[in-house]
Structure 1
Amino acid sequence: MAKEPMLKFVNVGRDMPEKRDAGDRKGDFLEIYGDFISDKAEEQASRCSQCGVPYCQSHCPLHNNIPDWLRLTASGRLKEAYELSQATNAFPEICGRICPQDRLCEGNCVIEQSGHGTVTIGAVEKYITDTAWEKGWVETITPHVERTESVGIIGSGPGGIAAADRLRRAGLQVTVYERSDRAGGLLTYGIPSFKLEKDVVMRRIDQLKQSGVEFVLNCSVGEDITFDALRQKHDAVLIATGVYKSRDLQGPGSGSAGIVRALDYLTTSNKVSFGDTVAEFESGELNAEGKKVVVIGGGDTAMDCVRTAIRQGATSVKCLYRRDRANMPGSQRETQNAEEEGVEFVWLAAPKGFAGNPVSGVMVQKMRLGVPDASGRQSPEVIEGADYVEDADLVIKALGFEPEDLPKLWNTDGLEVTRWGTVLADFKTHETKLPGVYACGDIQRGASLVVWAIRDGREAADAIVEQVNAAASVAAE
């Protein structure tokens, strides 16, 4: 009888792939974590307790079959592990890199709760699919039957391309409309390369292209093509635009030069990483080199901005957040990485206004935490008389994102939105009030995680296939 390869968490400690030294990694935009070697991946996977109720799986938005692909990895059956991982997730190697595992699967690992340290699920997930690419196990999509029905997808971010993957597997013809010059949306331009190197995204885009998905780039719906024209051209339309309207700052001096949006800053940095020449970077407007940088916000976008500024050669980088460390929305792992790289966090601090034009400082109000708000988090309250000025040559606003007014932008009647501006759609089928029109990802649920967008895209694709099948059955009668 073969020796049981699992349940080794008592004797084998938690271990992560080697992390590059902070002094080295802050000088480039390469990913900071190395790769597991096969023996180490098998060892770490073998720590899984194979518990009867896998909380890691139930707390994953995609409900990935984590215990089973950990067991297969521990047994050296890596190709089967990849096939099982790919069955529920179109892009496991991307989620393995950027998912906040500490808040999802790993944060709910049973052995973590018992004090033995969580299984390194994200690192193993990344290892499995990176190996699959190296071994040639990742193949182009070849549907059993090609169909004539077509679907137009607006937006090529994680939700849009997850849906495209699923729809092509069902044999439907898929066209993705993207207003940027490269596909990938947030994965390409919103996330820095030190978290997600761009060749990882581009090879997935290439796989979809080789599988028959058509990408129409530099195409803005409402300008280059009308929404109604898309509905007439395709049997179904999926809205997967994401949310890109930045929340703004108020107060004296908020319109001063040198105060920029996080998305503009990150997009510019990523374009430069691709080798593009960007005027705003060359002029210094969206370049932190030699500047005192202040980033306002406490989410993952703020963490991306502070770590990018360090790599661009800022003289100092500070992050202002109005709550304390325990109440910040961003990943604790990312916060630790930022601190290692030289970022200073100023907790319980909020901007009141800005000095100078161009900006020379942020007028800061010190805060304390009061009673909990409706979400259960303690509300920040101003400490009177504790204001001060934080020197800054570049201020980056990372306060979150809101939906654009799509009905107005697209001049479309009947596309209903919620009071938050997100597209109103069924959360199971993702169908809107317009027949044959669906929505998924952040434009439906609000700014959220990549993994939720992937889930939404897959669900929407399944609902579209069901609708197309039903229409075909009626036509055949």
Structure 2
Amino acid sequence: MANEQMLKFVTVERDMPEKRDAEVRREDFGEIYAEYADEKAKEQSARCSQCGVPYCQNHCPLHNNIPDWLRLTAEGRLQEAYDISQATNTFPEICGRICPQDRLCEGNCVIEQSGHGTVTIGAVEKYITDTAWEEGWVQPIAPQVERTESVGIIGAGPGGLAAADVLRQAGLQATVYDRYDRAGGLLTYGIPGFKLEKDVVMRRIDQLEQGGVAFEMNCDVGQDVSFADIQARHNAVLIATGVYKSRELPGPGAGASGIVRAIDYLTASNRKSFGDDVPEFDSGELNAEGKRVIVIGGGDTAMDCVRTAVRQGATSVKCLYRRDRANMPGSQREVANAEEEGVEFVWLSAPKAFHGNPVSTVKVQQMRLGPPDATGRQSPEEIDGADFDEPAELVIKALGFEAEDLPALWNQSGLEVTRWGTVRAEYGTGRTSLQGVYAIGDIVRGASLVVWAIRDGRDAAQTILDDLQGAQAVAAE
């Protein structure tokens, strides 16, 4: 039965959900892809070749059981497909929307290698979980036994929330502390609505809260509460703060007004989508409307900025990146979406200086790719005498993020960090140099993907459960 319904990649072509026309989607922050209809989801799932060695699963950080839930979807067994999908992934509806599938599961699909076009794994994953929400299959956590041990989680981003989910499933008490007024971290305030509509995040946080996860919002550890206090309240502490310190721009004039950080710009835009009062947006400081905008950087944050600026009504939007398209770290799918929406990419270019205060012009240095560096990537080099002026009223720095100095901020000199300032933690467990303290996600890895934070959170939660169980056994002897 299953075999008859699968392996249809030879006769059925790859077909993504319909994408809204660029001219239409430029006008709002709604998601750009439509939802699959039931028959289309079955048809596309049936293209899976059910390989003996599923490279899609191997290249997923969560090792999601993709072939099985594709087969169940093709057979119309959606609730079973959802059960298998969420067994390894705390937030499949979020990963289905924002994971760079072109670099992970879909990019390693066997039928893609044979020229038939990858299975649309992300779109099916999104469809399965959205259906689960509509049908009421997603229920609040209901532990079989409540336990007295508690874990304090610092950071309400995807890693911290994934850990809270696993801990509550096991009956532990979990309290999440976060400096913002809403949980979700970058899912809420960093990623624009056209990639991840905010009600998708809010309903998941509500589900966790209904399941007994406690949230202490507007709580900046080191200011509103000390790290030592959190340690005293809980049997274990998990650090899941992410990395929020923006890398700075070099060059004369880089401190001028009109040059802003990507995180501030995106947060302001997302707050407006919630209906919040955002004075920095209303004043024009963090609003691209009517301005010539230049975004500096080549990662997914830069793509979020350029596409947000288009929707805010910028006069023009240009992205400067010091390497070429092939060496860009961001998703190629996102680059294509941005180009469709009118963004101009200026490859092999970097800012050299900034004129005016507020900024009015960026002096752009043309680059070429030289010999590979230690990582194997070709290093960008300046081309002597090749520069030009580019007018701009808003410049957005999207050069990536670095770790804050947590040992100093939290008065924890015993918390070991790496030379990059990230917390030193044991791979796979998250254990740090402090007894009973664990760390996960970007604060350990450096800026990385949401799916890796989820993986880390789930792994560390399991380690915490094992360690607390071990401590109980020792105490009982």
Fold-level similarity (TM above 0.5): yes
Give the Å deviation of 1:413: 2.3
Q: What aligned pairs does 1:74-93 form with structure 2 within 5 A after superposition? A: 74-93=74-93
Give the distance between the partners of 1:377 and 1:390, measured in 2 at CA. 28
Equivalent residue number for residue 262 of structure 1: 262
Q: Is 2:189 the partner of 1:189?
A: yes
Q: What aligned pairs does 1:8-157 form with structure 2 within 5 A after superposition? A: 8-157=8-157
Give the distance between the partners of 1:338 and 1:2, measured in 2 at CA. 39
Q: Is 2:296 the partner of 1:296?
A: yes
Can you give the 5+ residue segments of structure 1 that lack an aligned partner in the other structure?
none
Which residue type is aligned with residue 188 of structure 2? T
Q: What aligned pairs does 1:151-190 form with structure 2 within 5 A after superposition? A: 151-190=151-190
Equivalent residue number for residue 271 of structure 1: 271
Q: What aligned pairs does 1:232-243 form with structure 2 within 5 A after superposition? A: 232-243=232-243
Which residue type is aligned with residue 41 of structure 1? A
Check 1:363–1:52 CA distance in 2 against 1; reply closer, same or farther (3 A cut). Answer: same
Residues 104-148 of structure 1, C-alpha deviation per residue, up to 9 Å, x if partnerless?
000000000000000000000000000000000001111111000
TM-score (norm. length: structure 1)? 0.99
Give the distance between the partners of 1:373 and 1:101, measured in 2 at CA. 27
Give the distance between the partners of 1:183 and 1:126, measured in 2 at CA. 21
Equivalent residue number for residue 395 of structure 2: 395
Residues 395-414 of structure 1, C-alpha deviation per residue, up to 9 Å, x if partnerless?
00000000000001111121
Equivalent residue number for residue 449 of structure 2: 449
Residues 232-273 of structure 1, C-alpha deviation per residue, up to 9 Å, x if partnerless?
110000000000000000111000000000000000000000
Q: What aligned pairs does 1:196-235 form with structure 2 within 5 A after superposition? A: 196-235=196-235
Equivalent residue number for residue 476 of structure 2: 476
SS in 2 for 1:382: strand
SS in 2 for 1:408: helix
Equivalent residue number for residue 250 of structure 2: 250
Give the distance between the partners of 1:233 and 1:276, measured in 2 at CA. 33
Give the Å deviation of 1:378: 1.0
SS in 2 for 1:162: helix
Give the distance between the partners of 2:26 and 2:114, measured in 1 at CA. 35
Q: Is the 8 A contact 2:62 2:451 kept in 1?
A: yes
SS in 2 for 1:386: strand
Residues 149-205 of structure 1, C-alpha deviation per residue, up to 9 Å, x if partnerless?
000000000000000000000100000001001000010000000000000000010
SS in 2 for 1:380: strand
Equivalent residue number for residue 364 of structure 1: 364
Equivalent residue number for residue 325 of structure 1: 325
Give the distance between the partners of 2:474 and 2:203, measured in 1 at CA. 39
SS in 2 for 1:4: helix
SS in 2 for 1:385: strand
Which residue type is aligned with residue 75 of structure 1? E
Give the Å deviation of 1:385: 1.1
Which residue type is aligned with residue 283 of structure 2? S
Residues 303-334 of structure 1, C-alpha deviation per residue, up to 9 Å, x if partnerless?
00000000000000000000000110000000
Give the distance between the partners of 2:333 and 2:312, measured in 1 at CA. 21
Residues 309-362 of structure 1, C-alpha deviation per residue, up to 9 Å, x if partnerless?
000000000000000001100000000000000000000000001011100011
Give the distance between the partners of 1:9 and 1:71, measured in 2 at CA. 13
Q: Is 2:458 the partner of 1:428?
A: no
Can you give the 5+ residue segments of structure 2 that lack an aligned partner in the other structure?
none
Q: What aligned pairs does 1:278-357 form with structure 2 within 5 A after superposition? A: 278-357=278-357
Which residue type is aligned with residue 370 of structure 1? G
Which residue type is aligned with residue 315 of structure 2? T
Give the Å deviation of 1:3: 6.4
Which residue type is aligned with residue 443 of structure 1? I
Give the Å deviation of 1:475: 2.3
Give the distance between the partners of 1:2 and 1:449, measured in 2 at CA. 34
Identity of aligned residues (%): 77
Give the distance between the partners of 1:446 and 1:379, measured in 2 at CA. 21
Give the distance between the partners of 2:5 and 2:22, measured in 1 at CA. 35
Residues 41-76 of structure 1, C-alpha deviation per residue, up to 9 Å, x if partnerless?
000000000011100000000000000000000000
Which residue type is aligned with residue 98 of structure 2? I
Residues 83-114 of structure 1, C-alpha deviation per residue, up to 9 Å, x if partnerless?
00000000000000000000000000000000
Q: Which runs of 4+ in 1 moved over 3 A?
A: none
Which residue type is aligned with residue 157 of structure 2? G
Give the distance between the partners of 1:144 and 1:471, measured in 2 at CA. 21
SS in 1 for 2:384: coil
SS in 2 for 1:369: strand
Give the distance between the partners of 2:365 and 2:12, measured in 1 at CA. 48
| Superposed CA RMSD | 0.7
Which residue type is aligned with residue 440 of structure 2? C
Give the distance between the partners of 1:464 and 1:390, measured in 2 at CA. 53
SS in 1 for 2:141: coil
Give the distance between the partners of 2:154 and 2:416, measured in 1 at CA. 17
Give the distance between the partners of 1:341 and 1:254, measured in 2 at CA. 28
TM-score (norm. length: structure 2)? 0.99
Give the distance between the partners of 1:175 and 1:461, measured in 2 at CA. 13
Give the distance between the partners of 1:300 and 1:44, measured in 2 at CA. 27
SS in 2 for 1:345: strand
How many residues are paired up?
Answer: 477
Give the Å deviation of 1:2: 6.9
Between 425-434 and 235-244, report the one with greater CA deviation: 425-434
Give the distance between the partners of 1:393 and 1:447, measured in 2 at CA. 28
Q: Is the 8 A contact 2:2 2:71 kept in 1?
A: no
Check 1:261–1:2 CA distance in 2 against 1; reply closer, same or farther (3 A cut). Answer: closer
